[in-house]
Amino acid sequence: MSEDAERLLAGLTCRITAQDAAGRWAIGNWFFDPLTRPGWLSSGGEDRSEKQLHGYRYHWTLQRNGSPYVEDVAASLTASPASVSGAIAPNAGSHFEVSLGNTTLRLDRRRAPAQQESEVTR
């Protein structure tokens, strides 16, 4: 694991209860949204909170289909004052890529937010 990967992954665990003072994002211990925004679509099955982290050296991926939103995870690693110094996270459409040095942590959502998914099925 690269040194920058260690910093990013440590950042995930250090921010487990982090919440933006202005209410723009929150991590919620990785299982609920303390800001009570509209939730993710869920079949109610056990996979509704599935999380996977995998990678090697400079390239890591976190896949989620529940709380927290990937947008919130990216913000927790890049927004002041909680940011990992030097980390950036441009929105790549269906995912975010948090970069630090030559390391990338890809944040994939496995399900679309409720309002987006319902618009697609109309």
User: Which residues, in sequence order, are bridge partners of residue 62?
Assistant: 53, 107
d(CA 56, CA 9): 12
pTM of the model as a whole: 0.77
pLDDT for 86-117, tens place per residue?
999 877 777 889 999 999 999 887 655 544 44
User: Which residues, in sequence order, are bridge partners of residue 103?
Assistant: 100
3-state secondary structure of 114: helix
pLDDT at 94: 73
pLDDT at 48: 53
pLDDT for 30-71, tens place per residue?
878 888 877 554 444 444 556 788 999 999 999 877 778 888
